[in-house]
A and B are shown apart, each in its own frame.
Chain A
Amino acid sequence: MDTRLNEEDLAFQKEVRQFLTESWDDEVRARCSNPATMKEGAEEWQDRLYKKGWMAPHWPVEHGGTDWSVTQKFIYNSERATFGAPEAVPFGVTMVASVIIDYGSDEQKAKFLPRILQSDDWWCQGYSEPGAGSDLASLKTRADLDGNEYVINGSKIWTTYAQYADWIFCLVRTDSSGRKQEGITFLLIDMKTPGITVRPIDTIDGFHHLNEVFFDNVRVPVENRIGEEGKGWTYAKSLLVQERLSIAEVADSKRALTELRELARGEVNGGKTLLEDPLFAKRLTDVEIELMAVEFTELRALASIAEGDEPGPESSLLKLQGTEIQQAIQELRMDVAGYYSGTLQGDLGADQLGHDFADSAQKNFFRGRAASIYGGSNEVQKNITAKYVLGL
């Protein structure tokens, strides 16, 4: 057992820090954090990653990935989070790309991967439906083969960033005769195809990210199918494990906790800072202790993946604990903002409102409620852990 970084790792860490210092500048930071310019901001940031060769560290080198060791990936991610830089938007580079790499045809790889790497295409994930959330396999959106095209009818819901997307990867039903997990097919669909409409969904954080996507006789060429017809569930599941690991966001929580502590130090009640408040101090350190544990759970998972183990059901526990910690930090941040946490800044400047982080605290808090819902709800993760880890 040894968690020290070797010399090579330390040199790598230095390189990462230097890159972030130079490339994660105020301009791109400002664009990424403003919802109105978030898309361009993300594209600009991802372009900088691409130029450095770091857009897709987890891809095989032949497609433009890196040959980083698990430790290096960990270092990169920690440093990224410490600098407050976002991960690349996951729908393309993390989600659909991993399915294309594992199960796609050579033509599909050649067509889609370079465009994902260069952020030319925005992707969205068309899994959930109004009737198929936790019970994803009960999805009903139909794809009927007509010549060498599928004709799609139905709708998807909760589709994050569909309003920006050039492509959507979808689970559709091609057969309803057998078990519901069979007869599901994985399709890549061009969002410009006639018959697709996107409806925005208003959310409690006041930020437009969710949508409904309707398919009305949408024609999709058969060559946009991943792998075999009816095997979509297997492909989809492999992606869910990836998704869960990335949702834990342990490194980002560490940064958020450090920030939180500084904010609490600056907040004074009756002459004492919030850090001197015993109840607040207890709640803050409770979260910190849990985070310290989860950080090492993640390291253990990464180490076992490095030794060739598949990330399996353990990813559920990480997702579960990681998101609970995120939410606890968001809640504490609301508490630090005090009675300001109920205010909406709207068009006012922070100085007019009288507070500079209440508005973001409130939005992040409400947005953060979703982390225990998406990627398989936390209840579903507990069911999976009970069944596949504990054998219950």
Chain B
Amino acid sequence: MNFNLSEEQNLIRDSIARFVSENYGFDQRNTVVAMDHGFSTEHWQQFAELGWLSIPFAEAHGGFGGGPVDTMLIMQEFGRGLVAEPYLPTVLLFGGLLQTAADAALQEKYIPKIISGELQGAFAYLERQSRYEMTDIATTARQEGSNWVLNGEKTVVLNGGAAQKLIVAARTSGEQFDRAGITLFLVDAGSNGFKSTTYRMTDGQEAANLTLSDVTAEAVIGTTGDGHALMAPIIAAACTAVCANALGAMEALNALTLEYCKTREQFGVAIGSFQALQHRMVDMFGACENVKSLMYRAVCTAQEGDDDAQRSMLALKVMTGRAGRLIGGEAIQLHGGMGMTDELSVGFFVKRLMIINTLFGDADYHQQLFAKLVNVSSSEQGEQSSEAA
């Protein structure tokens, strides 16, 4: 047993860390998020050249064949710099669905374009009324000849403004909340009847609401009616990935706060010498260590196909949400008035942590999934664990 990285993984991590330290200073980040769609296309090309966009994809499609540990490293390092480029929506969600659910022809057509940095994607599943319930899908798709025609609305779609292609979840049969009957469609952003309204998230990233009025889908992803089963594992993996992003952000935020407490003086001494603050910083550190441990647990169990993978992922998502709140709140508080300003990155870290808590369902939501999973008798177990996905 060990928690060491391979040589290759160390190289990846170091190269991302170098990129972040050279390109993601406070002012540099402000410049990036002020750009169209909230990120730098130049950075994106650099990611392609450095091979980072290829990491989770299969070698058959020109990928690196990486696993959960590799994704963790990337997302964690990105989190330290609050990197704004859309790795999550394009590579992990859109790319992840193509990789696991699309037919070979679509994979061959689009995965190489993601890897080369030419294609931006997004995954649209949430709706106004859905809150965190991913089966609550009112967007419909009906068949017309060999085409599928989509109608409905999707909300808070990350990268929904820049994406050229999107995967959209729509109902092809069944009732609201039914798992069966959800189908994933590939949609081109230039289609007739497709409209995206963009806005910013509090951390500067762009999101969009989409309206689909008789939009003809380009293709079905996977089997009709099977969308829920296809998206659940991708969302589970994405949960772990955003927690890694949060972990990087927490580490950076704790380091900033610690440094501030060592240098800021009041009453003739560094404020870090007050025990009241020392204990709080120890709590922040402890919360971050807990996230890190659950993080390793989640990626190891996922990689090893362990039975405990689902439980570990849910625990991680709950802990990350709660730890993010604690660390974010304390970081502002310990910075005093400075913590309230946009002149330090503290606030942006806190905002990213708040957003990550809500992605794919917040801590309360995941804690209830966790309870459902673990509070069942052994006879029910088989049935229940597939449901909690």
Give A residues with C-beta under 8 Å from B.
128, 131, 133-135, 138, 157-158, 201-205, 210, 267-271, 277-280, 283, 327, 331, 334-335, 338-346, 348, 352-355, 362, 365-366, 369-370, 372-374, 377-379, 382-383
Complex A-B, nearest 5 residue pairs according to Cβ-Cβ distance, in ascending order:
A204-B347, A342-B355, A202-B342, A270-B133, A135-B266
Provide the B265-303 mask, 1 if CB < 8 A to any CB of A, else 0: 111100100101100000000000000000000000000
Other 10 A-B pairs with CB < 8 A, given A334-B354, A379-B276: A138-B268, A201-B343, A210-B340, A268-B129, A270-B177, A346-B199, A355-B128, A373-B333, A379-B274, A379-B333
Q: Are A342 and B351 in contact (CB under 8 A)?
A: yes
Give every chain A residue within 8 A of B351 (Cβ-Cβ): 204, 342, 366
Q: Report yes or no: A210 in contact with B341, Cβ–Cβ below 8 A.
A: yes
Task: Say yes or no for B202: interface residue by CB 8 A criterion.
Answer: yes
- Do B325 and A342 touch (CB < 8 A)? no
- Cross-chain contact of B131 among A201, A268, A283, A374 (Cβ < 8 A): A268
Partner of A134, one of B155, B203, B267, B367: B267
For B, the interface residue count at a CB cutoff of 8 angstroms equals 51
Q: How far is the CB of B325 from chain A (nearest CB, A)?
A: 7
Q: B113 an interface residue at 8 Å Cβ cutoff?
A: no
Cβ contacts under 8 Å, A267 to chain B: 131
Task: Summarize B's interface: helix, strand, loop or mixed.
Answer: mixed
Q: Is B136 an interface residue (CB 8 A)?
A: yes
Q: For residue A204, which residues in chain B have a CB less than 8 angstroms away from its CB?
A: 332, 339-342, 347, 350-351
Do residues A354 and B128 form an inter-chain contact, with CB atoms below 8 A?
Answer: yes
Contact partners of B355 in chain A: CB under 8 A: 342
Please state if B340 and A369 are interface contacts (CB–CB under 8 Å).
yes
Q: Is B329 an interface residue (CB 8 A)?
A: yes
* Identity of the chain B residue whose Cβ is nearest the Cβ of A327 in the assembled complex: B329
Query: Does B138 make an interface contact (CB < 8 A)?
Result: no
- From B19-27, B101-109, B212-220, B356-364, the one touching the partner chain is B356-364
A97 to chain B, nearest CB (A): 25
Contact call B337/A339, Cβ cutoff below 8 A: no
Question: Which residues from chain A contact B341 at a C-beta distance below 8 Å?
Answer: 201-204, 210
* Residue in contact with A269 in the complex, picked from B131, B153, B342, CB distance below 8 Å: B131
Select one of A133, A340, A352 contacting B337, CB under 8 A: A133
Contacts A134-B266, A269-B131, A343-B207 given: A353-B358 contact, CB under 8 Å? Answer: no
Shortest distance between the CB of B169 and any CB in chain A (Å): 15
A353 x B209 contact (CB < 8 A): yes
CB nearest to A352 among chain B residues: B197
State A344–B156 Cα separation when bound (angstroms).
Answer: 11
Mind listing 19 A-B residue pairs with CB under 8 Å?
A133-B337, A134-B336, A204-B339, A204-B340, A204-B350, A210-B341, A280-B364, A331-B325, A338-B131, A338-B362, A339-B359, A342-B354, A343-B156, A343-B199, A344-B201, A377-B336, A379-B274, A379-B276, A383-B276
Contact partner of A203 (CB less than 8 A), chosen from B126, B177, B276, B340, is B340
B:303-344 near A, CB below 8 Å = 325, 329, 332-333, 336-337, 339-343
| Contact residues in B for A203 (Cβ distance below 8 Å) | 340-342
Verify if B148 is at the interface (C-beta below 8 Å from A). Answer: no
In the assembled complex, B257 has its CB within 8 A of some CB on chain A: no
Interface centre among B156, B177, B337 (most CB of A within 10 A): B337
Query: Contact at A354–B202, with CB atoms within 8 Å?
Result: no
Q: Quick check: B209 and A352 within 8 Å, CB to CB?
A: yes
Closest residue of chain A to B201 (Cβ to Cβ) is A342
- Indicate if B365 sits at the interface (CB-CB under 8 A): yes
Q: Is B200 an interface residue, CB under 8 A from the partner?
A: yes
A279 touches B368 (CB 8 A): yes
Q: How far is the CA of A268 from the CA of B200 in the complex (A)?
A: 25
Q: In the complex, what residues of A have CB within 8 A of residue B207's CB? A: 343
Question: Across the interface, do A369 and B337 meet the contact criterion of CB distance under 8 Å?
Answer: no
The answer, yes or no, to whether B260 is at the interface (CB within 8 Å) is no
**Which residues 105-151 of B sit at the A interface, judged by CB distance below 8 A?**
126, 128-129, 131-133, 135-136
